[in-house]
Amino acid sequence: MDNEFNTVFHIWLTLLTGTKRYELRKKLLEDFQTPEAVYNLKSSKDFSPELMKKNELISRILDYSLKKKATEIFQQARKDKISIVSFDDDDYPRYLKELYSPPLVLYYRGDISHNYRYSVSVVGSRNADGYGKKVAYDISGDLARMGMMIISGMARGIDSYAHLGALDSQGRTIAVLGCGVDFVYPPENKKLYDRIINNGAVLSDYLPGSHPQKQNFPARNRIIAGLSMGTLVVQAGKSSGALITIDNALRENRTVYAIPGNVNNELSHGTNSLIKSGCVCVTCASDIIDDMGIEVISLKKQKQNIGDLNENQKLVYSALEKNASSMEEVCEITKLDVPSILSAITVLKVNGLLEGASFGSYVVK
C-alpha cells in the first residue's frame, strides 16, 4: 500500500468520529479487508447490518468532502514541515501499539525514527517547588545518560525540568502536546520547544492548528503514559492533573514510580499516597533501572575519567574509595544531602567508575 495513501486514509478515519477510532478502523477492515476498499465505498448498501444501524457514521464515510479534507490536512502538514506517522508505519511508537485503543495518527516535529527500546515518562505538578524541580531534572538527566528516552508534556514545572534534565545530559526527549504541534504551549517554552525538536520530537494526535484547550490535556496524558515502559511522578498534590497520567499508566499495566516527599508539603500528598497504595517508591534513577531489570552495563558510555566528574561526584567517589559503608558516613564525609549523593552514585555507576548494589558492596574502579 502506498505510504501517502495510508497516511491520508488514517487521517480520514480520525475525521469520521471523535471516539473509538481504533475500534472503527478494526471493524471496517474486518468487513472490507483493505483500506482501499473502505476508502472507495460509495453505497450504504455495502455496509454490514451492524454498521447499517449507524446512519450518521455511514453518511460521514460516504461524504467525499471529508476525504478531500484529509488530503488537504496531509498536504498542508507537509508544507508546514510537520511529519505524520500513522498506525501501520514502521516508525509508529512501539509502546503505543500496546494500548487498548491507540491513536491512529500522530503529528510531530523532530525525529521519532529511533523508536527507543527504553523510555520513561516523567510527570508532576505545574506548581512544583525547588525540591521537585531539582529531582525531576537530576533523575531525568541520569536516566537519559543511561540511554532512556524521557517522555513528558512540556508543561510548566516538573515536565519542563524533566525535558531540561534529559537535554542537558545530551539525551533525547519527547514532548506530547495538548494542542497542534505548530503551537508552543506554554509560550514561554519556545526555547525548550526548539531544543526538544533538535534532540527528539514534539508530537500530538491533535490536528495542526488545534489550539490548547483544557479538555485536551487529560486525553494527551494517555499518550504520555502509553509511550513509555513506566511513569515516574515526582511531585503532585491530591488533585494534580499528573494523577490522570498515572491512572492511564495503571490502566495499561505500566509500572508507576513515585518520589517520596515531605508529609507536610501539599505537593507530596499525591506521590506519598501512590506509594502507600503500592506504587514503586524510588529515590534515584538506579531504582527505576533495577526495577525494570535492565542491565546498566549494556547502556553505559565508555568509562569516564575522574577529572571529568563534577565536584559532588568527585566527593562521593572519594568517600566510597575510603570504604564509607553507609549513607550516613558518605553524608558526613561529603557534607552533601541524600538526593545529591544518590544522583552522584548513579552517574558513577553509569560511567563505569562504580559497581555494586548498595552501601557496603560498592566497589570503586
Which pLDDT band, with edges at 50, 70 and 90, does 219 fall under?
confident
Query: How do the domains of the chain map onto residue ranges?
Result: 3-79, 119-296, 301-364
| 105-138 pLDDT per residue, tens | 999 999 998 666 789 999 999 999 989 999 999 9
pTM equals: 0.78
Which pLDDT band, with edges at 50, 70 and 90, does 98 fall under?
confident
Which residues of the chain form beta strands (DSSP E)?
A: 83-86, 105-110, 119-123, 149-152, 173-176, 200-204, 230-233, 255-258, 280-281, 354-355, 363-364
The β-bridge relationship of strands 105-110 and 83-86 is: antiparallel
Architecture (CATH level 2) of domain 301-364: Orthogonal Bundle (1.10)
Q: What is the pLDDT of residue 200?
A: 95
In this predicted structure, the answer to whether residue 78 has a pLDDT above a threshold of 80 is yes
The phi-psi region of residue 110 (left if phi > 0; otherwise alpha if psi is between -120 and 50; otherwise beta) is: left
Across all residues in the chain, what is the average pLDDT?
A: 86
Residue 172 cell numbers, joined: 533525547
In this predicted structure, the answer to whether residue 239 has a pLDDT above a threshold of 80 is no
Same fold across 119-296 and 301-364 = no
In this predicted structure, the answer to whether residue 299 has a pLDDT above a threshold of 50 is no
In this predicted structure, the answer to whether residue 83 has a pLDDT above a threshold of 70 is yes
Express as a percent the part of the chain with pLDDT over 90.
41
Residue 145 cell numbers, joined: 545518560
Q: What is the DSSP letter of 297?
A: G
Q: Which of 8-17, 200-209, 285-294 has the highest mean pLDDT?
A: 200-209
**CATH number, domain 119-296, options 3.40.50.800, 3.40.50.300, 3.40.30.10, 3.40.50.450:** 3.40.50.450
Distance CA 144, CA 114 (A): 14
354 forms beta bridges with: 364
Distance CA 166, CA 296 (A): 17
